[in-house]
Structure 1
Amino acid sequence: MAALDESSRARTITISGLSKTSGVADWRLGYAAAPAHLAVGIANAVDLLAVCAPTPLQDIAITALDLPAPYYDAMRADLGHRKDVVATLFSRLGLTPNSRTALTTYSSTARR
């Protein structure tokens, strides 16, 4: 849109992320490009959303930090099992699973 004309450029905000498009799916890294008069509002919103976690989420975080290690061990095992199930299904479909992390898996669409 911004390439169309000066009027469009003056009111276009482009928001994107690097998570999937750049192969860093486990990261939450994004960006916005906008004219300066719009970027100020975006920066304020990001600051409020990223820096000032809502009170209920702060309470949840405190609860989560107080959970015993076995809770997280069980959760990690469950998520790992789910990842393995998906990888098995990929293999059955003739796809090649590629587990880049402990809890996620990807597959190429190229046939073996």
Structure 2
Amino acid sequence: MGTVPKTVIHIFHADQDSLASGAHVAERVRQVAADRGIQLEVYLFGPAEHALLDAANTDFNSQIDALIEHGVPVRTCLNIAAATGAADQLAQRGIQLEFARDAFARYGQEAAAVISF
């Protein structure tokens, strides 16, 4: 049996349009992933990772938490999490920590479709 195709929603930018669009597209893909036979993963990096720590970004954070509750792997950069002292806080939310270099190398090995916001 072959490898299940993967779609990665990579959210980098922290402007409200990028955060809202990235999280919304991730949710919409989640809704059809099983029917389409794909795996979904979300990777937040740079400014978007910082948005996870901003209480003012309630809609974005709620959307990310809902994805986690539905079993979507959500990951952030371990370096940024450690540098901001947020590794434990993020992990408690169910966000997985992985070095960006390792995540992106893995996506290449998996031939994942990476869509960036």
The structure with higher relative contact order (CA 8 Å, sep 6+) is 2
TM-score of Structure 1 vs Structure 2, range by shorter chain: under 0.3
Give the TM-score normalised by the residue count of structure 1.
Answer: 0.20
> Between Structure 1 and Structure 2, which shows a larger proportion of strand residues?
2
Max Rg structure: 1
Give the TM-score normalised by the residue count of structure 2.
Answer: 0.19
